């Protein structure tokens, strides 16, 4: 067991912290270039299928890698921050990976844009498991924070809560468009004089009263029914059970939206606490990466919540969604650095003994 641990933590190991950092930076740069070059689409046209597949690919790979690295930390008896911490984080990241698979299946394969999909079950597990893991990481530490550090945490919490309240209270784009269309119609009807409406009937009544000349009407030929145009079969037609499941899950849209916003606020507060609780020390670097990962996820998820509710016909794949990629990469880097630091710390203790 010890030989395998030493081999996996050596500088030449494929999964060493240094290699994971280099791979994460390269992956982030490629993802950013991909979003910058291809995220802008022609107005009125959908983004191409290959671009949507590319966004899922760039998101899924780092989250799966981060989950596997977290499970490696969980299996190692030498991990310093506690094995249950990384079990919770790993289960959360794996849940997000599976949830994205279901969401991509619904969106890309069936061509649907459901309010709730089976992937939302795994998104809920992501928040629960990740939150438990991060809380377990903070609880053993005594939070003797300076006044400016507490002020930073409070300011972050107030800002996140204010943004959440604004998102929940502002009307969605569909309601705004409906009110904007209905208001001119109501004002036009109200501004039309009653006498004008009465006078508008006079010419038609006069024409009806006049005697029409005797004109021989030629009977029209029977209208031929145009052959039906075949439907576009480029996308797979969803089966009945998919549509039925979508209708069953649709009432959960509002509670899930509220849960996601609350979960994002919680992640931002936990990220601030992690950043300050692990301020300095040997293991500060890895937990700074975890805090940055939670903050990146907050940015991407809050943007997606805003865009889907306030932008008409929003298509996923906007530039700010690249922060989901950054989040997975930072989780992977944090897990790898924590593993290396724990192994080196145990080795140093053995040498002193």
For 74-117, the pLDDT digits (tens) are 999 989 888 999 999 999 999 999 999 999 999 898 888 888 99
The mean pLDDT value of the chain amounts to: 81
How far is the CA of 318 from the CAs of 101, 264, 308, 314, in angstroms?
19, 19, 11, 9
Residue 201: inside a domain, yes or no? no
CA 289 to each of CA 75, 157, 201: distance values in angstroms, whole numbers, following the listed order: 21, 20, 75
Q: Is residue 9 part of a domain?
A: no
Report helix, strand or coil for 283. Answer: coil
Structure tokens at 244: 């039925």
Examine residue 240 and state whether it is found in any structural domain, yes or no.
Answer: no
Helix (H, G, I), strand (E, B) or coil at 42: coil
Residues of the chain with pLDDT under 70: 1-12, 173-235, 281, 345-353
For residue 109, give its domain range: 16-172+250-352
In a domain, 346, yes or no: yes
pLDDT number for residue 93: 97
Neighbours of 16 (CB within 10 A): 19
Asked if the structure places residue 180 within a domain, the reply is no
Task: Name the pTM for this structure.
Answer: 0.79
Q: Which of 89, 151, 123, 147 is nearest to 294 (CA)?
A: 89
Q: Where residue 144 sits, what CATH number does that domain have? A: 1.20.1070
- What DSSP line would sit under 225-238, residue for residue? PPPPPPP--SSPPP
Among candidate residues 334, 255, 320, the one with its CA nearest the CA of residue 32: 320
Residue 188 lies in a domain: no
- Residue 184 within a domain: no
Q: Please, are residues 141 and 80 in contact by the beta-carbon 8 Å criterion?
A: no
According to the model, what pLDDT value does residue 133 have? 95
What's the confidence (pLDDT) of residue 235? 61
Q: Is the residue at 206 inside a domain?
A: no
Q: How far apart are CA 337 and CA 21, in angstroms?
A: 9
Residue written as token pair 């059970």: 241
Q: How many domains does the chain have?
A: 1
Neighbouring CB atoms inside 10 A of 235's CB total 13
């Amino acid at each position: 067991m010890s030989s395998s641990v030493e081999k996996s933590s050596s500088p030449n190991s494929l999964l060493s912290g240094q290699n994971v950092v280099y791979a994460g930076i390269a992956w982030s740069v490629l993802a950013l270039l991909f979003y910058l070059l291809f995220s802008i689409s022609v107005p009125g046209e959908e983004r191409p299928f290959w671009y949507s597949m590319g966004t899922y690919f760039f998101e899924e790979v780092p989250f799966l890698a981060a989950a596997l690295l977290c499970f490696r930390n969980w299996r190692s008896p030498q991990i310093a921050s506690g094995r249950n911490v990384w079990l919770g984080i790993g289960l959360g990241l794996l849940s997000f990976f599976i949830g994205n698979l279901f969401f991509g299946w619904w969106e890309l394969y069936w061509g649907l844009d459901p309010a709730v999909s089976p992937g939302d079950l795994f998104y809920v597990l992501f928040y629960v498991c990740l939150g438990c893991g991060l809380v377990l990481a903070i609880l053993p530490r005594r939070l003797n924070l300076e006044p400016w550090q507490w002020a930073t945490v409070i300011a972050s919490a107030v800002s996140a809560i204010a943004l959440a309240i604004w998102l929940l209270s502002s009307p969605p784009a569909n309601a705004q468009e409906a009110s904007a269309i209905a208001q001119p119609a109501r004002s036009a009807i109200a501004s039309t004089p009653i006498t004008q409406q009465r006078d508008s009937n006079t010419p038609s009544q006069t024409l009806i009263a006049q005697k029409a000349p005797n004109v021989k009407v030629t009977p029209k030929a029977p209208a031929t029914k145009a052959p039906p145009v075949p439907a576009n079969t480029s996308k797979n037609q969803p089966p009945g059970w998919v549509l039925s499941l979508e209708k069953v899950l649709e009432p959960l849209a509002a509670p899930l939206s509220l849960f996601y916003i609350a979960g994002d606020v919680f992640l931002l507060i936990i990220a601030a606490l992690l950043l300050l609780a692990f301020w300095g020390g040997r293991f500060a670097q890895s937990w700074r990466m975890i805090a940055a990962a939670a903050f990146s996820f907050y940015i991407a998820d809050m943007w997606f919540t805003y865009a889907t509710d306030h932008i008409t016909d929003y298509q996923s794949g906007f530039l700010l969604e690249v922060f989901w990629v950054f989040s997975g990469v930072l989780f992977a880097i944090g897990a790898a650095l924590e593993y290396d630091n724990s192994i080196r710390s145990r080795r140093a203790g053995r040498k002193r003994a």
